[in-house]
Amino acid sequence: MILSKKTPQFNHIAIIMDGNGRWAKKHSLSKKEGHKAGIENAIDLIKKTSNQNLTKNLTLYVFSTENWLRPLSEVRALFELIESTYKAFQNLALIENISINHLGRTKKIPKKTLGIINETIKITNNNNGLILNLAFNYGGRSEIIDAINKQKKIKSEISEKNFSKLFYNPKLPDPEIIIRTGGDIRLSNFLLWQSAYSELFFVKTLWPDFKIFNLHKIINAFNIRKRNFGK
């Protein structure tokens, strides 16, 4: 798949990486192996997205506030992978000039994991290439509630502009494109405020099988959509 010459430099592409468990089952592997394959695929896609200069911001839905409800053994396995994942992302970021941001609550995150996250943010802070936002312990409703609680302390008049400044990353532009892999057609509490006028793409491809050419196809489909923004 070759991108159209009209392909813009996007401000923000966001992805709900779904289907790791089903991919593992399909290949007779454990869920942990499925998550591992998903991480490896994420690293490959981040690198190629950065090299091709497709977007300024790339946000990946890593772990939601609802994922704590999964079986304890699965959550523990996920956190073991997440710690090594941040190290891998850190190494990739230093090579590819990528800066990494945390998007989500820090409450409940184990001290060791939080230390790795903070270290990764600090080490990559001065990089000026792709901005990788890792939505970890993130929920759209939680973000809005947390912003409301901040607003109470400020006691200023609420407007869309000043309210959005209270979000986890006030500088993050609304995504032009939100992609969900794995076949389900829902946002699952992801970027609820920011997705108001995003173009949504739901694909059946399981996350470990979602490659750069799949992203190219979506970008080309985006380019032929007419965006009216309510006008």
Q: What does pTM read for this prediction? A: 0.92
pLDDT computed for residue 44 by the predictor:
96
Q: Alpha carbon of 129 to those of 4, 39, 124, 154: distances in Å?
A: 23, 21, 10, 34
Question: Smallest Cα–Cα separation from 90: which of 46, 38, 29?
Answer: 46
Task: Provide the 8-state DSSP code for 170.
Answer: T
* DSSP string for residues in 47-71: HHHHHTT-EEEEEEEEEEGGGGGS-
Question: Smallest Cα–Cα separation from 182: which of 26, 4, 12, 2?
Answer: 26
pLDDT, tens digit (0-9, with 9 covering 90-100), for 46-85: 999 999 999 999 999 998 999 888 888 888 888 888 888 8
Asked if residue 140 has pLDDT above 50, the reply is: yes
Q: Decide: helix, strand or coil at residue 128.
A: coil
Gap between the Cα atoms of 148 and 55, Å rounded: 30
* DSSP string for residues in 131-154: EEEEEEEE-HHHHHHHHHHHHHHH
Residue in 18, 41, 133, 137 annotated catalytic: 18
pLDDT computed for residue 4 by the predictor:
47
pLDDT computed for residue 71 by the predictor:
85
pLDDT, tens digit (0-9, with 9 covering 90-100), for 147-185: 999 998 887 788 888 899 999 999 999 999 999 999 999
C-beta neighbour count of 163 within 10 angstroms: 17
C-beta neighbour count of 195 within 10 angstroms: 16
Residue in 67, 189, 214, 220 annotated catalytic: 67
In contact, 172 and 6? CB cutoff 8 Å: no
First to last CA, the chain: 33
Q: Please give the average per-residue pLDDT across 179-199, as a whole number.
A: 97
In contact, 40 and 85? CB cutoff 8 Å: no
Domains of the chain, each with CATH number or no CATH: 10-71+79-138+174-180+198-222 (3.40.1180.10), 140-172 (no CATH)
Active site residue 184: no
pLDDT computed for residue 96 by the predictor:
95
pLDDT, tens digit (0-9, with 9 covering 90-100), for 19-33: 999 999 999 999 889
Q: Decide: helix, strand or coil at residue 44.
A: helix
- Determine which of 86-95, 136-145, 148-157 has the lowest per-residue pLDDT on average: 148-157
Q: What is the edge-to-edge ordering of all strands in the sheet holding 131-138?
A: 99-103, 131-138, 55-64, 10-16, 177-180, 199-202
Q: Greater confidence, 210 or 161?
A: 210
Active site residue 127: no
Task: Provide the 8-state DSSP code for 207.
Answer: G
Gap between the Cα atoms of 31 and 37, Å rounded: 10
